[in-house]
Each structure stands twice: as structure tokens, then as C-alpha cells.
Structure 1
Amino acid sequence: MNFALILFVLVVITGIAWVADKLVFEKQRRLSAQAALAQFDARQADLQGRYGAGEIDTSRSRLAEEKLRQPWWLEYSASFFPVILAVFVLRSFVVEPFKIPSGSMIPTLLIGDFILVNKYDYGIRLPVLNKKIIPVSEPKRGDVMVFRYPKDESLDYIKRVIGVPGDVVSYQNKRLTINGKPAEYSEQPDYLDEERLSYSKHFREKLPEGPEHGILNDADRPPYVAGADPDFPFHENCTYNQQGLTCKVPQGHYFVMGDNRDNSLDSRYWGFVPDQNIVGRAFLIWMNLGNIGRVGSFK
């Protein structure tokens, strides 16, 4: 489901109804109300002239309210336009909420985390088309980025940016080297995955010219990449061996990986993320129904 497209269609439909109401239908209701009230006042004057009394004042108020009331089809379209427009603008240009559906970003993000994604940090883009119209900044190594999955753009993925355009990324024996500079690692106590009831090796990884963050490795998984798509764009930029792979990131693309390294389908398997597929930068956990302590910013 393309929610952005659905929201855009709703904005157009309710917007047309709202404009039509302001320019046409509201004026017609006011004219109708004025005519009805004029008849009412004439009848009141006649009754007072004949009998010295008239209908109670609330009758006039009810008549005016009835004539000015929007018909049901306008009430359920035009009246919702400001709300739908506000949601559309906020979601398209400011922040967008997402829910984490998988464990590929453990330990940084857990299944069930509700996150907010900054929509303007990487440039202002046209809604639905996702075409950048105002450059702001570019993704940096270490950013947690949401993007449309290159093999099925109806799906949103979230991974960490490891390589930016022009970088040479090498992942050998489960250790990263970027442009010849190795990442720094510090071992942490083993991490218990409560979903899988298993332990993983836990490290703090410091990227060259990038931030530090947590990663997991499964000691039982081999270092080589099994099942990579042989036909992804710029596949020739990557070399695979028994220890892992080395890739040169093409211009306008990014190399991304999950923090749960041995349980993440990412650029090692399906290739690079084109700039036009970028949705935004994840920056905040705003809710986790199972663990309120998860709420807050993350790196």
C-alpha cells in the first residue's frame, strides 16, 4: 500500500470540496438563509400586527442554523481538508513515523520500536514522486537511514549507512575497513536476544570518520556472503570471497548494513541504495508498547 499516494489523493479530493464550498456552496447557503430569514421576519411582523405576538426567538436561530449547515457529503470531505492537509505536509516534509518490524538493527533498534524519521535532513523531496527539489545535506557514515527497498519500492527498509559515494567498503572476517582505514572494535558482554532466546557477540564499532554504535555477530555464522543477488545494479563494483566482500560505492548510491550483522539482508546481498530511494534519517524512538524505557534519541 502506498500510503503517501493515498494521502495525496485524499488531499486533492477534500481540497477540491473545500475550495468549492468556500467559493460556491457557502455563498448559496448564505443566500438561502437570508431569503428564509426574510420570509420568517415578514411572517413574524404579520403575526405581531394581527395578534401582538409571534414565534419564540429560538425558531429563527434554528432556521438559520439549518440553512447554513453543510450537506453530509461536504461535512465528510471539505471539513476534513485542513486536518488531512496538515498530516500530509507534516508527513511529507517534516517527520514520518515508522514501526520496526524485524531484528536487523538490533541492538540499536528492537522489534516493536516506533521511530520518527527526519524528512528534510537529506533534502526536500516532492511527495509521492520522491524527487529532490531542494538539497540540504547528504547521508553520512553511521546515519540510520530509511529508504525504499531497491528490489521492491513499495517496501520501506531501515539500515545504517556504511559507505557513501566513492568509498571502498571492505567487510572481511566480520570487520569493516573503509578506504583502507579499519573500524575500531571494543568487545561488550554477550547480547541476549529475547525473541530468539540466543546469545550473540556484542561489540561497539567506531567507523572511520563516523560515530560509534553497537553491532552483533553470530559466532556460528561464516564470514562469507551466501545467496547474494548476482544481477543488482553495479554488481561489478563488488568482489566476493570466502572472507566477505569488497565494494566501491558508485556515485549517487550508498552502501548500507544492519547492526545485527549476521541477521540482516542488506547491501551485501541486494546492492546499493540509490539517492532517489532515500526517505529520511531515523533519529528518535517515540514509543515501544513493551518497554517505555526505550523512548528517546539514538545513534
Structure 2
Amino acid sequence: MAGYFSVFLVLLTLGSGLIWLIDHLVYAPKRKERIALAQGASEQPLDQEVIDQIAPVPAITDSAKSIFPMIAAITVFRSFIFEPFQIPSGSMMPTLLDGDFILVQKYAYGIKDPVWRSQLVDVDDPKRGDIAVFKFPLDERIDFIKRIVGLPGDRIVYRNRQLFINPKCEEGEQSRDGLACGEFNKIDVEIVNRDEFKQGSMPLVRLTESLPDVEHDILINPKALELSERYYQQPGTRRDEWVVPEGSYFALGDNRNNSQDSRVWGFVPKENLVGKAVFIWMSFDFENGPNSLLPGWVPTGVRFERLGNIQ
């Protein structure tokens, strides 16, 4: 849906701009000539009502001239600078909650045209720990949001609710991105609490996971089965091990037992990246129960304490 809206904005901008340009170059000079002739034949200055009758501006032209600057500014801002997104699920809890409204920095990983999404300018590559919005590789009409944990060439293992990373290193390197080369680095976790979040009636454990240079919280369900039989099976590796291809990334949801991510469907190609999630600008509670008179999409409160930069 976001892709269709981008195309609509571009077409509306081009259409209104083209109407304004044609009028400016072709029809506006003719209107000025008619007004000048009428003014020359009149002994009194023409008022606006008479001018509108002599040289009326078509309604479509007037509308195009009114909306073009605003639509053009929105298109540029949304296509190349920041785009708003709403978090639709709990797969990134506790970092992002259902009902959070975020800003995504569109230029973080490169500037792309808003229609065909071809790369126009290279800016930077994703860093380990970035929260990225991307086009779902299995259906690019859908936007996904996950945390980047594996970079090109990395070997990733997710086993017994524990993340291990063996980074890609150049010959002779002893470490890369704070991780030891040539071995699987166990990513440290530390329990924060056990009763803040629940999945149904099941308490979830909140832990702080320490990626190099980035600490962030995750949730795990200690009693849930690891459904490794559903994992994406990469040729030549174990079922819970993956080698990240060049030009791709491995992404996980922070809510580890409730996230459809790279463990299930594979890797995120760089060309699918939309941008980096950087700011929560609004956050709503939606707690209308089954007996509520209000529909479920009506907010019941504002979580002001959540507003700010995303970690």
C-alpha cells in the first residue's frame, strides 16, 4: 500500500506541475493579452470581477497552481528524507509496540527514485543493530521492520534462544565490529524482568542483548518450542545456521518467539531496504475490549513517555 501511495504522490505532483507549466507558457500570456486589450479600450481600471470574466482561469488550472507547491514538497520529503510508518504488530516488542508511529530516514542507506526504487546515490550500508524498514522479499508490496544482526559474509546461528555471530573478516584480522574473527561469538544477554510482558497468559522474559556498540532489549518465551523445522534451510548449512550472502542482510525481530524474520524466510537484499527507523513521533494505546462500544482502531490513550529516538 505504501508503494501505491508513493506512485500516486509522484503522478499527482507531475500532473499538477505539468498543468501549471503549460498554463504558464501557453495560456497565461493569452489571458494577459486579452486583459491588456480590454484595459486599453476602457477609460477606467478594470476590477477583478471584470478581469475574471474577460480572461477566466480554468478551475483545473487554478487547483493545480494551488496544490503543486504543497504536493511537491510532500513528495520530496516523503520520498527522499523521512517517511512515517505505523507499527502494525508486536514482532519488535519491547523496542517498538503496536500503535507506535515512527519516522524512517529514507536516505540512510541510499537515495532511490520513489517509483521504480532504483538506486540513485549510495550513502551508507546498514550497521549491525540498525532497525530497518524493507520490502518483504517474498512480497514486495508489504513493508517489514526488523533489526539487522547479520552483515554480508557473516555466519549466524540461532540456537536455544541464543544468538551467535561469526563475522566475515579479511585475512589477518583478529576482530571485526567488536567480534572475534574465526569463531562464533555468543551475544551476551542479561535479564531485565520476567513479568512486564505476556503472550496470552504466558509471561515473557525481557533481556538486554549486547550487539557490538548497540545494546537493546528483546523478549523471549522460555516455554515456547523453538520451531526450527520452519526455519529457512540454506544449502550446505545446519538448520539453525545461515551464511549471509553478499549484498544481503540477516534480520531478526526483537520479540524472538513472535516474529516472522530471516530465520523463516531468508535474507534481506540491499535493494529492498527502505530506510532506518529513527524516531517515535506518536504512540497510541488500543485497549478496546470485546465489550467496548468503540471499534478496535479507536485509540484509548496516548503513550507520551514513548516519544523520542529509537534505540
The TM-score bracket by the shorter chain reads 0.7 to 0.9
Whether 2:250 is the aligned partner of 1:255: answer yes
Whether 2:80 is the aligned partner of 1:80: answer no
Between 246-255 and 198-207, the greater mean CA deviation after superposition? 198-207
Give the corresponding residue for 1:132. 119
Give the corresponding residue for 2:238. 239
User: Residue 279 of structure 2: SS of its match in structure 1?
Assistant: strand
Cα distance in 2 for partners of 1:238, 1:15 equals: 54
Cα distance in 1 for partners of 2:85, 2:199 equals: 20
Against the structure 1 CA distance between its residues 69 and 228, is the aligned structure 2 distance closer, same or farther, given a 3 Å change threshold?
farther
Percent identity for Structure 1 against Structure 2: 39
Task: Report the alpha carbon displacement of residue 126 of structure 1 after superposing the two structures with TM.
Answer: 1.8
Give the corresponding residue for 2:142. 155
Give the corresponding residue for 1:201. 205
Whether 2:265 is the aligned partner of 1:291: answer no
Cα distance in 2 for partners of 1:69, 1:191 equals: 69
Give the corresponding residue for 1:274. 269
Cα distance in 1 for partners of 2:280, 2:12 equals: 28
Task: Report the alpha carbon displacement of residue 121 of structure 1 after superposing the two structures with TM.
Answer: 1.3
1:176-211 per-residue CA deviation (whole Å, 9 max, x = no partner) reads 11111111111011253378465211100001x241
Give the corresponding residue for 1:31. 33
1:71-118 per-residue CA deviation (whole Å, 9 max, x = no partner) reads 111122232111111111111111110000000000000001110001
Among 95, 102, 108, the residue aligned to 1:115: 102
Larger Cα-atom Rg? 1
* Alpha-carbon contact 1:21-1:78 (below 8 Å) kept: no
Give the corresponding residue for 1:14. 16
* Alpha-carbon contact 2:232-2:262 (below 8 Å) kept: no
1:27-80 per-residue CA deviation (whole Å, 9 max, x = no partner) reads 122222222323333xx5xxxxxxxxxxxx7x6243235556531111222321
Cα distance in 1 for partners of 2:62, 2:17 equals: 13
Give the corresponding residue for 1:53. none
* Alpha-carbon contact 1:37-1:64 (below 8 Å) kept: no
Whether 2:189 is the aligned partner of 1:185: answer yes
Task: Report the alpha carbon displacement of residue 170 of structure 1 after superposing the two structures with TM.
Answer: 0.7
1:238-263 per-residue CA deviation (whole Å, 9 max, x = no partner) reads 521xxxx1101000000000000000
Give the corresponding residue for 2:260. 265
User: Residue 140 of structure 2: SS of its match in structure 1?
Assistant: coil
Give the corresponding residue for 1:49. none
Against the structure 1 CA distance between its residues 159 and 238, is the aligned structure 2 distance closer, same or farther, given a 3 Å change threshold?
farther
Among 213, 222, 227, the residue aligned to 2:225: 222
1:7-37 per-residue CA deviation (whole Å, 9 max, x = no partner) reads 1111221121111121112212222222232
Cα distance in 1 for partners of 2:51, 2:303 equals: 53
Cα distance in 1 for partners of 2:130, 2:255 equals: 15
Against the structure 1 CA distance between its residues 268 and 93, is the aligned structure 2 distance closer, same or farther, given a 3 Å change threshold?
same
Q: How many residues align?
A: 275
TM (norm. structure 2) is: 0.83
User: Residue 262 of structure 1: SS of its match in structure 2?
Assistant: coil
Against the structure 1 CA distance between its residues 194 and 173, is the aligned structure 2 distance closer, same or farther, given a 3 Å change threshold?
closer
Whether 2:161 is the aligned partner of 1:174: answer yes
* Alpha-carbon contact 2:197-2:205 (below 8 Å) kept: no
* Alpha-carbon contact 2:188-2:209 (below 8 Å) kept: yes
Gaps of 5+ in 2: 167-183, 285-301
Q: What is the letter of the counterpart of residue 200 of structure 1?
A: L
* Alpha-carbon contact 1:121-1:281 (below 8 Å) kept: yes
Gaps of 5+ in 1: 45-56
User: Residue 130 of structure 1: SS of its match in structure 2?
Assistant: coil
Cα root mean square deviation, aligned: 1.9
Give the corresponding residue for 1:47. none
User: Residue 238 of structure 2: SS of its match in structure 1?
Assistant: strand
Give the corresponding residue for 2:131. 144
Q: What is the letter of the counterpart of residue 34 of structure 2?
A: S
Q: What is the letter of the counterpart of residue 213 of structure 1?
A: H
Q: What is the letter of the counterpart of residue 291 of structure 1?
A: R
